[in-house]
């Protein structure tokens, strides 16, 4: 399979570069700049992209790479720090300058293969201080901005290209086209990476690997484990058993929907455990958020273990690991991943031979496409992330049956109004929080003393930082009216307008 290496020098957009390559139908791998030259030489790469990075080529402990990288005969595109690194390593001069930041006008030489189909004047996103002041021998300058003498350079005989700006971000409107040009015009890729071919190939591989042995999957109802389960089911049918532990803290009707979909529609061997009473009794009177999390995590393992024991030994355990988990764990080792991510502790309590991770090469947006390929409903495929401890961390203070019902109803209405307005796909996460505050209100002739519900909605690309979503006032208005009218015990609605940082996405 043709692939492009994204050599990671620590910049913030590195996964985005890899995603953009894949959106161009070519598989990409992100590997650290410490990857050995032998590994790169033997990797079968059609091209290499050097990413941005936080340091200067002159800083102490700068992330550098040996000159040998430029002697492999593989096409290379340097981006931002990667461009400076290319210049610095093969004979150019990088200087410490003043910062150029934000959207900047860019003049390009449209005759370059990199800029094919791009007008001579366009816009790019800059974020740098150092700049290339002198290009290496054999190069020519192919783009400039007012402040940057070498916004891009090329050496066509060696297939080396470098851009000081960031083509991977949307603020460079034609950046996608530039990456396309590098991948196809320079690297000569054909574009074989599609989710339909991935789906067919993965099902075949799983069939071959697993044969008629037994597979166990912990189904959470989230996107990753659901898509993994359906893939496995297509491959091994009834040899797959899924266990779904409903702790009662899911959103309104979600437990039922999971059962209907997996048992009803897909006819998957599903063991659904209604463990609500067990969780609620353990959580009674507990208001410390970390204690709630710990209780839920431990109880989850206990319930799962009891069910798994009934099944006995299985050959494979499915994990919904995805590519960002693999990259972030550093070396992509399955043993390492499971201790950091997903169902913490789960594998330890199950008797199994091997872990199977059918999604470990995919980014989240690719997992969603596979879900659609498999015919899964959009409501499942585009489901927003939901914390493992569920509504327990959205009820501030202790959890009671009354509060849980109230929050489920309020949250359902908010989500319903957002979806009706057609803005659900633009928002990363949106939900209601039951504060532990009561305040005075008026209803009819009487006074009320009821709960305040907070609505939270954020836009984000990675959930590490987030901005509050500018939901139209009319949508907030109808959600607010409906919640106070339809959910008894609530008389006040507030909208959270803090970004992360300093706030977090969840309230607990
Ligand atoms: P915060 O609140 O830290 O949330 O900004 C970032 C993302 O993590 C999710 N989250 C959790 N997910 N268990 C989880 O599985 C948890 O205890 C937990 N706490 C927060 C949150 O929903 C958001 O997507």
Statement: residue 142 has pLDDT above 60: yes
| Confidence band, pLDDT 50/70/90 cuts, at residue 328 | confident
Rounded distance from Cα 292 to ligand 1 centre (Å): 14
Return the ligand 1 atom nearest residue 388 CA: 15
Ramachandran assignment for 304, one of left (phi > 0), alpha (psi -120 to 50 degrees), beta (any other): alpha
CATH of domain 195-381: 3.40.50.620
CA-nearest residue for atom 21, ligand 1, is: 387
Structure-block tokens of residue 265: 């529609």
For residues 362 and 377, what is the distance between their CA atoms, to the nearest angstrom?
19
Statement: residue 296 has pLDDT above 50: yes
pLDDT score, position 344: 47
Statement: residue 10 has pLDDT above 80: yes
pLDDT score, position 330: 57
What mean pLDDT, rounded, does the chain reach? 94
Residue recorded with tokens 């079968």: 44
pLDDT score, position 467: 95
Statement: residue 135 has pLDDT above 90: yes
| Confidence band, pLDDT 50/70/90 cuts, at residue 345 | low
Predicted confidence (pLDDT) per residue in 239-284, tens digit:
999 999 999 999 999 999 999 999 999 999 999 999 999 999 999 9
Rounded distance from Cα 465 to ligand 1 centre (Å): 12
Q: What is the mean pLDDT of residues 284-307?
A: 95
Percent of the chain residues topping a pLDDT of 70 = 96
Q: Where are the domains positioned within the chain?
A: 3-186, 195-381, 394-495
Predicted confidence (pLDDT) per residue in 421-473, tens digit:
999 999 999 999 999 999 999 988 889 999 999 999 999 988 888 999 999 99
Return the ligand 1 atom nearest residue 506 CA: 2
What residues have CB less than 8 Å from 194, skipping those under 6 apart? 25
Among 432, 505, 507, say which to mutate for ligand 1: greatest number of ligand atoms within 8 Å of CB.
505
Return the ligand 1 atom nearest residue 386 CA: 22
Rounded distance from Cα 390 to ligand 1 centre (Å): 9
Q: How far is CA 411 from CA 123, 393, 403, 457, 458, in A?
A: 41, 13, 12, 12, 15
Predicted confidence (pLDDT) per residue in 395-425, tens digit:
999 999 999 999 999 999 999 999 999 999 9
How is domain 394-495 classified at the architecture level of CATH?
2-Layer Sandwich (3.30)
Closest among 393, 477, 473 to 435, alpha carbons compared = 393
Measured at the CA of 405, the angle between CA 506 and CA 225, to 5 degrees, comes to 55
Rounded distance from Cα 387 to ligand 1 centre (Å): 5
Structure-block tokens of residue 47: 């091209």
Predicted confidence (pLDDT) per residue in 361-396, tens digit:
999 999 999 999 999 999 899 999 999 999 999 999
The beta strand positions in 366-489, using DSSP E, are 429-443, 446-459, 467-468
pLDDT score, position 230: 97
Q: What is the mean pLDDT of residues 464-488?
A: 97
What's the fold here for domain 3-186? Rossmann fold (3.40.50)
pLDDT score, position 336: 38
Q: What is the mean pLDDT of residues 195-209?
A: 97
Return the ligand 1 atom nearest residue 507 CA: 2
Statement: residue 333 has pLDDT above 80: no
Task: Kindly give the residue spans of alpha helices, DSSP state H, lying in 454-505.
Answer: 473-486
CA-nearest residue for atom 11, ligand 1, is: 387
Rounded distance from Cα 424 to ligand 1 centre (Å): 19
Rounded distance from Cα 338 to ligand 1 centre (Å): 18
Closest among 52, 178, 212 to 110, alpha carbons compared = 178
Residues forming the active site: 80, 166, 168
Among 385, 395, 469, say which to mutate for ligand 1: greatest number of ligand atoms within 8 Å of CB.
385
pLDDT score, position 444: 83
CA-nearest residue for atom 12, ligand 1, is: 387
Same fold, 3-186 and 195-381: yes
Statement: residue 339 has pLDDT above 60: no
CA-nearest residue for atom 9, ligand 1, is: 387
Rounded distance from Cα 284 to ligand 1 centre (Å): 22
pLDDT score, position 249: 97
Structure-block tokens of residue 243: 């266990």
Return the ligand 1 atom nearest residue 429 CA: 24
Ramachandran assignment for 341, one of left (phi > 0), alpha (psi -120 to 50 degrees), beta (any other): beta
Rounded distance from Cα 326 to ligand 1 centre (Å): 19
Structure-block tokens of residue 431: 């939900």
Position with higher pLDDT, 334 vs 70: 70
Predicted confidence (pLDDT) per residue in 51-67, tens digit:
999 999 999 999 999 99
What residues have CB less than 8 Å from 39, skipping those under 6 apart? 31
Among 341, 344, 387, say which to mutate for ligand 1: greatest number of ligand atoms within 8 Å of CB.
387
Predicted confidence (pLDDT) per residue in 81-134, tens digit:
999 999 999 999 999 988 899 999 999 999 999 999 999 999 999 999 999 999
Residues with CB under 6 A from ligand 1: 293, 385, 387-389, 393, 429, 463, 500, 504-506
Question: Are the CB atoms for 89 and 67 separated by under 8 Å?
Answer: yes
CA-nearest residue for atom 8, ligand 1, is: 387
* Length of the chain as a residue count: 508
Return the ligand 1 atom nearest residue 503 CA: 5
């Amino acid at each position: 399979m043709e692939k492009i290496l994204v050599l990671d020098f620590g910049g913030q957009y590195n996964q985005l570069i890899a995603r953009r390559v894949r959106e161009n139908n070519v598989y990409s791998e992100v590997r650290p700049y410490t990857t050995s030259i032998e590994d790169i030489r033997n990797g079968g790469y059609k091209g290499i992209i050097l990413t941005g990075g936080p340091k200067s080529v002159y800083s102490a402990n700068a992330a550098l790479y040996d000159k040998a990288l430029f002697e492999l005969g593989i096409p290379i595109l340097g981006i931002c720090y990667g461009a400076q690194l290319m210049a610095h390593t093969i004979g150019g001069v990088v200087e410490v300058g003043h910062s150029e930041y934000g959207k900047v006008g860019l003049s390009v030489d449209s005759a370059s293969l990199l800029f094919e189909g791009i007008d001579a004047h366009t816009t790019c996103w800059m974020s740098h201080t150092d700049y290339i002041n002198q290009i290496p021998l054999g190069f020519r300058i192919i783009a400039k901005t007012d402040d940057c003498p070498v916004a891009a350079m090329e050496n066509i005989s060696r297939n080396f290209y470098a851009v000081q700006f960031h083509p991977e971000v949307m603020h460079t409107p034609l950046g996608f086209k530039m990456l396309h040009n590098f991948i196809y015009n320079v690297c000569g890729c054909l574009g074989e990476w599609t989710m339909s071919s991935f789906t067919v190939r993965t099902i075949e591989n799983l069939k071959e690997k697993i044969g008629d042995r037994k597979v166990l999957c912990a189904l959470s109802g989230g996107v990753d484990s659901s898509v993994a389960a359906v893939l496995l089911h297509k491959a091994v049918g009834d040899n797959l058993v899924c266990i779904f532990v409903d702790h009662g803290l899911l959103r309104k009707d979600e437990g039922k929907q999971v059962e209907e979909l997996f048992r009803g529609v897909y006819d998957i061997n599903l063991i659904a455990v209604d463990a609500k009473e067990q969780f609620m009794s353990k959580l009674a009177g507990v208001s410390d958020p970390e204690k709630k999390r710990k209780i839920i995590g431990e109880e989850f393992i206990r319930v799962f273990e009891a069910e798994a024991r009934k099944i006995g030994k299985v050959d494979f355990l499915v994990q919904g690991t995805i590519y960002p988990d693999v990259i972030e764990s550093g070396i992509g080792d399955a043993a390492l991943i499971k201790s950091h991510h997903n169902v913490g502790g789960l594998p330890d309590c199950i008797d199994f031979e091997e872990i199977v991770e059918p999604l470990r090469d995919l980014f989240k947006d690719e997992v969603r496409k596979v879900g659609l390929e498999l015919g899964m409903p959009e409501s499942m495929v585009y489901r927003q992330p939901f914390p493992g401890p569920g509504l327990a961390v959205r009820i501030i203070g202790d959890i009671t049956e009354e509060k849980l019902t109230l929050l489920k109803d309020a949250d359902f209405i908010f989500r319903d109004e957002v979806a009706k307005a057609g803005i659900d796909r633009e928002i990363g996460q949106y939900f209601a929080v039951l504060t532990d505050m009561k305040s005075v209100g008026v209803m009819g002739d009487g006074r009320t003393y009821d709960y305040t519900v907070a609505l939270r909605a954020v836009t984000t690309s990675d959930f590490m930082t987030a901005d509050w979503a500018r939901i139209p006032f009319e949508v907030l208005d109808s959600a607010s009216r409906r919640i106070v009218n339809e959910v008894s015990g609530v008389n006040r609605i507030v909208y959270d307008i803090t970004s992360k940082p300093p706030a977090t996405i969840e309230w607990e």
